[in-house]
Each structure stands twice: as C-alpha cells, then as structure tokens.
C-alpha cells in the first residue's frame, strides 16, 4: 500500500519563522549536495538570508512541504526584459531534498513560480542549469523550458560572471 503524502506548495513569507527556517534548511541541504558544491553554507549566511531576501522587493521564494517537512525550494528574482519592455523572473535556485525526489515537487514549485510570474505580467522565466545535471535538465524540459537556441550569426549565449 502506498503512503499518503500531504504536499503543500506556497509562496514563502520571509518574515514567517517557519518559512525562514525552511528556506535556510533546504538551501543548506543543496549546498551540502555535490551539485551545490558539497559544503554547508556559513552560519552567518543562514542567520541573515531570510531578512536579506526580505529587503529585496523583487525577490520571492516558493517552498514545498511534504507531510509538514521542508522538502523543496525555488528562489527567484524579478528582472526586466528591455526587448519586451516587461518584467521577467529569473529562477536562481531549484532544490528538492533527496528523500522527496521523484514526487514531482520541482514541477509543482515551477508551476507556482509561473503563476506568480503571470500575476506580475512577466514575459518569461529564465534559469541556469549545470551542464552535467541531466536530471534537472530533464525536469526543466518537461516543464517547457528550452536551452538557449544556437544562432550561428550571433553565437551561443553564455553566462559570464565577474566576482566583486
């Protein structure tokens, strides 16, 4: 007999203590995973993350709970498309804790992100994914994301970073 699972997906409130703790717990779980770097987040990051996110009016997070336990997280930031002259949502982190993988949580959380993006009048949702993360790529493809198209006239779009 299959176990009944109570799945709750919601937009987090950074000032809600349960949500703040869940954000830190799940994000730290991702940081400790090999795909997240294999190291826990520094205690000062975990201490201040929810309050710092709350200071950013264009930040929002989606949480998934399974039977009351924090199980997944998507952190997002609203940006702006100059070509469309409309806002966009950039998905910064997508995490499903190992014990809860295979329950479709990423799809449920991405649907909540899409609902919020549509409410905000956004023209698109963007994200980055590690080249070797085939499981995440398959999940994003299933949800309707497509990798950047290769245009020989303009070349492939790459994300570059300059640490400050």
DSSP character string of 86-127? EEEEEEEEEEE-GGGTTSSHHHHHHHHHHHHHHHTT-S-EEE
pLDDT exceeds cutoff 60 at 150: no
d(CA 128, CA 91): 8
Both structure tokens of 48 = 């201040």
Q: If you average pLDDT over residues 65-91, what whole number do you get?
A: 96
d(CA 88, CA 132): 26
Q: Is the pTM here over 0.85, yes or no?
A: yes
Mean pLDDT, rounded, of the chain: 89
Q: How confident is the model at residue 95 (pLDDT cuts 50, 70, 90)?
A: very high
Q: Lowest-pLDDT range, 23-32, 118-127, 138-147, 155-164?
A: 155-164
pLDDT exceeds cutoff 60 at 156: no
Q: How confident is the model at residue 130 (pLDDT cuts 50, 70, 90)?
A: confident
Q: If you average pLDDT over residues 62-86, what whole number do you get?
A: 96
Q: Identify how many contiguous H helices and E strands the chain contains and give both numbers.
A: 4, 5
Q: If you average pLDDT over residues 113-138, what whole number do you get?
A: 90
pLDDT exceeds cutoff 60 at 47: yes
Write out the H or E segment, with its range, that includes residue 130: none
More confident residue, 147 or 45: 45
Helix axes 134-143, 105-119, angle to 10 degrees: 50
pLDDT exceeds cutoff 80 at 9: yes
d(CA 98, CA 155): 37
Q: If you average pLDDT over residues 93-99, what whole number do you get?
A: 95
User: How far is residue 32 from each of residues 26, 36, 37, 38, 142, measured CA to CA in Å?
Assistant: 10, 6, 6, 4, 26
Q: What is the pLDDT of residue 145?
A: 86
3-state secondary structure of 74: strand
Q: What is the pLDDT of residue 60?
A: 98
């Amino acid at each position: 007999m299959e176990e009944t699972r109570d799945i709750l997906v919601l937009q987090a409130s950074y000032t809600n203590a349960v949500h703040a703790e869940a954000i830190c717990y799940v994000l730290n779980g991702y940081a400790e995973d090999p795909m997240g770097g294999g190291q826990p987040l520094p205690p000062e990051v975990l201490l201040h993350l929810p309050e710092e996110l709350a200071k950013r009016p264009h930040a929002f997070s989606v949480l998934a709970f399974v039977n009351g336990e924090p199980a997944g997280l998507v952190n997002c930031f609203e940006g702006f498309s100059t070509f469309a002259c409309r806002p966009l949502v950039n998905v910064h982190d997508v995490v499903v804790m190992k014990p809860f993988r295979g329950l479709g949580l990423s799809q449920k959380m991405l649907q909540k992100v899409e609902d919020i993006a549509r409410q905000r009048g956004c023209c698109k949702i963007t994200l980055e994914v590690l080249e070797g993360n085939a499981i995440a790529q398959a999940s994003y493809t299933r949800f309707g994301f497509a990798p950047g198209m290769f245009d020989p006239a303009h070349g492939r779009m790459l994300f570059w970073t300059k640490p400050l």
